[in-house]
């Protein structure tokens, strides 16, 4: 390799002392040292080409680096100088061949560059062996620190010194036959810094892997103590429902349960789905007089109101039918959709006739529900036309018998079946009758049942319910008041309104909350949950969380809707600590714990890892009168004081606490109640009680109270469920995870990709809010166990993993585009390390799969959607959370749709609906970049002079690994049955090939890449 080097003028070469022995050199010889510089081997570094070599044209000097191989040694002293080699050649004395090139214009019309070859004799070398006169190659290497190599550099005169600061020059070794005894051998840079060629790539990979390791620890540490639980329903029945001296009539001594169902939009949450949920609740196997059901309609829609009225009417025949024939499940839509034989294990001879009759009644019920919008519209048109005619008649009478000149403006109201205005939201909204501005509504649709069973009798028009209890539980419709200017706090505010209303009407010591699409699949679920609450030590349990199970999911579970890794793995493991987190539905609460009070007994954990356990002080016994002085060092440990101005509600608190205690039938039971304390019948509701219930759901009731701060569902987060459960654990309560043999509840989940990502976005956004709020677990009280802290810390931190995940998904593509890899080569050591890590993680995953009962396919689907959701919804949640914290921009809440697609022939039609959202951008970018990088990497390697297949294999392997995780996302974009138009594949291929060819032309491969 030779490069031009224009040198300034030096003393002439035509002097008498050097004209014969040192002819002008057009070639300078050098050698590259270990530091990268070039050491000149020529005697004269710079020359002035004058005399015969001068002319009108300038000459350029070239530096040629030639390794001192045996056929490339300096000529011996005294060799003749001629225009051709003398005694040299392939086997003669080694020669140095120099080449000069004329630069500039040709003055004699030649126009051609003149080339001259000269054979030059070297001066007497200072590095000749003293005995033989040969070139001392080893000595030169040592003295100049030279190495083999090809390159070009210009050495200054200072570089001829031996070393940097020793002051010893090469001339000191002219006549000394000296041979060094030692030498320094530097450690190769490839060993000290094996990633020097791709340091930036290695650094990004290391940072991402470090965060993944930290996140993995947060996920694995709480799983150190997984447990299983079981219940004994027979023992529960013997203890609470059998004759005893304190209960001679065998009335149920079980505590009351209030069931909450919430809905907000009849368009996204169909009334028929909600009605089926209500029917399954009214038919559960629990004492009828002890069960109450409430539905919160936060949209105040008349469609929901009348659908619930229809459901109560149908429940009068459906509930006794379920009790008579022991029907499971007790959701009529799910029951009649079963693919199994309905007569299995049925012994009553009238079952087939009864089933046929009730199926016809249910079909008529569905038709009535589906036709409600049209019925209401026609009713409203009729009443509005009548009102308009009355107004015209009145205006005509006032105008002397003539119709008014201007048309009358009659308000288009929404009418109820009894001919009165609907107090909620109207179809044509006006002031006081639209979402966000309407009066509070409370309607008891099913009255309080009598304390004793009411048996049915034969009836020709209905079924024969002889010997069957035909009572149904109390059911109430609730829609809290909303007015402009008030913060209604979304779902959490609606739940707190139901807590207050139910405390006035029924005051059940336990509350079961369900979403409108989650129905009771196991009629004994409430009893199974009560086993934990009424057991010894149950007075310390704040809630029982049931796993969420889903129906209507596609067989492959493309988007991991079942979420079994979380519900069967993480939640079961947390049950071995302080209890599972609250996940929003399928949860039975202790009402007293919801009010913000402390458990009767709790412990505090101190030390770095919470290894020291001490009994916590009972703050209820030392409650202070001053409201300004805190009772403890942590705000969550202060006692609630401001419940509002309802004395009836305040009096119900102590009653709920007493009725929620376990039965004191053994000396080991602490904080129990005497047997038979709950067999007294409930009092019927009166007008004053209902009016008080309406007052506590008004929009102004929570002013200057602690609702949403310390009492009830906690405000300030879109994931109010997690925050509410965290506050309870922070006070020292514990929770229980109840996995029943038959699923307790079942619901629906969004199988559409867009809806699924929006659901995940809401969850992740709530986690980011928790992390940046006072609910951060780093500020928790000492009553929270160490591993429970780790679990809640992971809840707040997991969305931030998306930042590193997105970077990590682009690393394989960057490796393929740049031709570099995180290691120099896929050697045995790297492959063994990668294999060990992979096997270790696989064994841990298999262990988790084994004890949790998760299938391998479910585990893989969870891994895939973790990458999809992490690169889209989680990343957007981090950005939204930061915007809310830094800029104060509020986060909009998108209600998850429960409706299906228009194609009713295919139950999975909604799976193939493509609804564009900005959450698609990042996963789509990852897929496209990795595909293009694969094509470019293959093209670069194929067209390279020295192809490096190991780097291509390494980058391609990890790139395919990323694409395999993104496969469900890509399949979701392909639409129904994965049918993507052929033109999409054609354009994708053309774009990839075009981009790869452009990349190769812009950055062509060389010998090193």
Query: What is the enclosing helix (H) or strand (E) of 533?
Result: helix 525-533
- Interaxial angle between packed helices 801-818 and 856-871, expressed in degrees from 0 to 180 and rounded to the nearest 10: 90
- Output the 3-class SS for 429-492: CCCCEECCEECCEEEEEECCCCCCCCEECCCCCCCCCECCECCCCEEEEEECCECCCCCCCHHH
Give 903's Cβ-side CA count (13 Å radius).
Answer: 10
Query: What is the enclosing helix (H) or strand (E) of 511?
Result: strand 510-515
* Separation between Cα atoms, residue 861 and residue 556, nearest integer Å: 9
* Separation between Cα atoms, residue 789 and residue 606, nearest integer Å: 13
**Range 394-420 burial, b when 16+ CB lie within 10 A, else e:** eeeeeeeeeeeeeeeeeebbbbbeeee
Query: What is the enclosing helix (H) or strand (E) of 832?
Result: helix 828-852
3-state helix, strand, coil in the chain (%, to 5): 40, 10, 45
721 among known catalytic residues? yes
* Separation between Cα atoms, residue 594 and residue 587, nearest integer Å: 12
Tokens 């069957």 found at: 468
Mark out the alpha helices in 534-590 (DSSP H runs): 564, 571-574
Catalytic residue, chosen from 721, 743, 755, 910, is: 721
Find the farthest-apart pair of alpha carbons in the chain and give their distance in angstroms, rounded. Answer: 145
Residues forming a β-bridge with 310: none
Asked if residue 480 lies in contact with residue 440, where contact means CB atoms within 8 angstroms, the answer is yes
Catalytic residue, chosen from 253, 298, 568, 636, is: 298
Burial label for 244, CB within 10 Å (0-12, 13-18, 19+), is: middle
Rama region for 197: left / alpha / beta (φ>0; ψ in -120 to 50; rest): alpha
Asked if residue 911 lies in contact with residue 557, where contact means CB atoms within 8 angstroms, the answer is no
Tokens linked to 964? 């395999």
Kindly state the DSSP code that residue 157 receives in the 8-state scheme. Answer: G
- Sequential DSSP letters for 272-313: HHHHHHHHHHHTSSS-GGGEEEEEEETT-BHHHHHHHHHHHH
* Separation between Cα atoms, residue 495 and residue 483, nearest integer Å: 17
298 among known catalytic residues? yes
| Cα→Cα distances 452→239, 344, 449, Å | 19, 32, 8
Three-state DSSP at 415 gives strand
Three-state DSSP at 72 gives coil
Tokens linked to 197? 């060629």
Tokens linked to 789? 């802290």
* Separation between Cα atoms, residue 779 and residue 231, nearest integer Å: 36
* Dihedral sign (CA 846, 852, 855, 861): negative
What residues are labeled active site? 298, 721
């Amino acid at each position: 390799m030779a490069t031009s080097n224009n040198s300034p003028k030096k003393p002439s070469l035509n002097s008498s002392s050097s004209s014969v022995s040192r002819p002008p050199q057009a070639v300078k010889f050098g050698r590259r040292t270990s530091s990268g510089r070039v050491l000149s081997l020529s005697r004269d570094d710079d020359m002035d080409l004058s005399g015969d070599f001068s002319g009108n044209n300038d000459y350029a000097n070239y530096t040629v680096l030639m390794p001192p191989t045996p056929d490339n040694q300096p000529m011996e002293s005294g060799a003749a100088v001629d225009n051709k080699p003398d005694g040299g050649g392939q086997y003669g004395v080694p020669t140095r061949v120099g080449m000069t090139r004329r630069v500039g214009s040709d003055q004699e019309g030649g126009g051609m560059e003149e080339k001259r070859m000269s054979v030059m004799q070297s001066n007497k070398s200072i590095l000749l062996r003293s005995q033989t006169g040969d070139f001392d190659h080893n000595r030169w290497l040592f003295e100049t620190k030279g190495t083999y190599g090809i390159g070009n550099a210009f050495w200054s005169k200072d570089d001829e010194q031996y070393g940097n600061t020793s002051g010893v020059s090469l001339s000191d070794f002219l006549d000394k036959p000296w041979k060094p005894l030692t030498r320094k051998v530097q450690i190769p840079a490839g060993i000290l810094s094996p990633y020097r060629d791709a340091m930036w790539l290695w650094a990004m990979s290391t940072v991402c892997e470090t965060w993944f390791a930290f996140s993995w620890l947060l996920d694995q540490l709480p799983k150190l103590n997984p447990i299983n639980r079981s219940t004994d329903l027979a023992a529960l029945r013997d203890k609470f429902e059998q004759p005893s001296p304190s209960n001679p009539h065998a009335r149920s001594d079980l505590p009351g349960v209030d069931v909450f169902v919430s809905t907000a939009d009849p368009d996204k949450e169909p009334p028929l789905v909600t009605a089926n949920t209500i029917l399954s609740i009214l038919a559960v196997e629990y004492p009828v007089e002890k069960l109450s059901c409430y539905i919160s309609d936060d949209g105040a829609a008349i469609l929901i109101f009348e659908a619930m009225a229809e459901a109560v009417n149908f429940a009068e025949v459906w509930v006794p039918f379920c009790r008579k024939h022991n029907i499971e499940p007790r959701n009529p839509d799910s029951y009649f959709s079963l693919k199994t034989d309905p007569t299995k294990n049925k012994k009553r001879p009238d079952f087939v006739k009864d089933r046929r009759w009730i199926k016809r009644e249910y079909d008529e019920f569905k038709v009535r529900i589906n036709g409600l919008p049209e019925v209401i519209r026609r009713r409203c048109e009729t009443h509005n036309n009548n009102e308009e005619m009355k107004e015209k008649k009145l205006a005509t009478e006032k105008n002397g018998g003539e119709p008014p000149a201007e048309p009358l403006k009659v308000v288009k109201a929404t009418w109820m079946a009894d001919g009165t205005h609907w107090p909620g939201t109207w179809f044509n909204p006006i002031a006081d009758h639209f979402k966000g501005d309407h009066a509070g509504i409370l309607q008891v649709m099913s009255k309080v049942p009598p304390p004793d069973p009411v048996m049915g009798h034969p009836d020709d028009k209905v079924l024969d319910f002889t010997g069957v209890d035909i009572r149904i539980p109390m059911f109430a419709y609730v829609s809290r008041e909303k007015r402009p200017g008030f913060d209604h706090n979304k779902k959490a505010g609606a739940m707190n309104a139901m807590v207050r209303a139910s405390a006035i009407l029924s005051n059940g010591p336990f509350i079961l909350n369900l979403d409108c699409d989650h129905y009771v699949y196991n009629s004994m679920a409430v009893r199974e949950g009560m086993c934990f609450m009424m057991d010894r030590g149950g007075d310390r349990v704040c809630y029982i969380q049931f796993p969420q199970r889903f129906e209507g999911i596609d067989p492959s579970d493309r988007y991991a809707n079942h979420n079994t890794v979380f519900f069967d793995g993480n939640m079961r493991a947390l049950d071995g600590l302080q209890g599972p987190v609250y996940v929003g539905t399928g949860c039975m609460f202790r009402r007293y714990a919801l009010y913000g009070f402390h458990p009767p007994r709790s412990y505090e954990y101190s030390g770095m890892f919470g290894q020291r356990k001490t009994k916590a002080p009972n703050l209820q016994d030392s409650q202070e009168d001053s409201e300004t002085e805190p009772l403890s060092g942590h705000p969550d440990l202060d006692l609630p004081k401001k419940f509002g101005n309802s004395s009836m509600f305040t009096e119900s608190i102590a009653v709920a606490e007493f009725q929620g205690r376990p039965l004191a039938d053994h000396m080991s039971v602490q904080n129990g109640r005497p047997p038979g304390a709950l067999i007294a019948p409930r009092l019927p509701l009166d007008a004053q009680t209902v009016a008080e219930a309406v007052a506590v759901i008004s929009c102004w009731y929570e002013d200057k109270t602690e609702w949403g701060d310390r009492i009830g569902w906690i405000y300030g987060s879109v994931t109010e469920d997690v925050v509410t459960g965290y506050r309870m654990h922070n006070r020292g309560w514990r929770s229980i995870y109840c996995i029943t043999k038959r699923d307790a509840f079942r619901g629906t989940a969004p199988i559409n990709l867009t809806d699924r990502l929006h659901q995940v976005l809401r969850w992740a956004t709530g986690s980011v809010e928790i992390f940046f709020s006072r609910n951060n677990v780093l500020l928790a009280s000492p009553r929270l166990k160490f591993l429970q802290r780790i679990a809640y810390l992971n809840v707040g931190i997991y969305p931030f993993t998306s930042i590193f995940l997105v970077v990590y998904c682009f690393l394989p593509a960057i490796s393929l585009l740049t031709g570099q890899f995180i290691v120099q080569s896929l050697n045995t050591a790297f492959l063994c390390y990668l294999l060990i890590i992979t096997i270790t993680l696989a064994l841990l995953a298999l262990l988790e799969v084994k004890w949790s009962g998760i299938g391998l396919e479910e585990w893989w689907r969870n891994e895939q959607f973790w990458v999809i959701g992490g690169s889209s919804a989680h990343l957007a949640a981090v950005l939204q959370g930061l915007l809310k914290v830094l800029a104060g921009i509020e986060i909009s809440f998108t209600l998850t749709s429960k409706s299906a697609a228009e194609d009713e022939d295919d139950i999975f039609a909604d799976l193939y609906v493509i609804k564009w959202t900005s959450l698609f951008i990042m996963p789509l970018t990852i897929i496209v970049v990795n595909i293009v990088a694969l094509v470019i990497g293959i093209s670069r390697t194929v067209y390279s002079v020295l192809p490096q297949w190991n780097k291509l294999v390494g980058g391609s392997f990890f790139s395919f690994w990323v694409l395999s995780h993104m496969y469900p996302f890509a399949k979701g974009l392909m639409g129904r049955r994965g049918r993507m138009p052929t033109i999409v594949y054609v354009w994708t291929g053309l774009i990839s090939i075009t981009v790869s060819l452009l990349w190769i032309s812009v950055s062509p491969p060389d010998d090193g890449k």
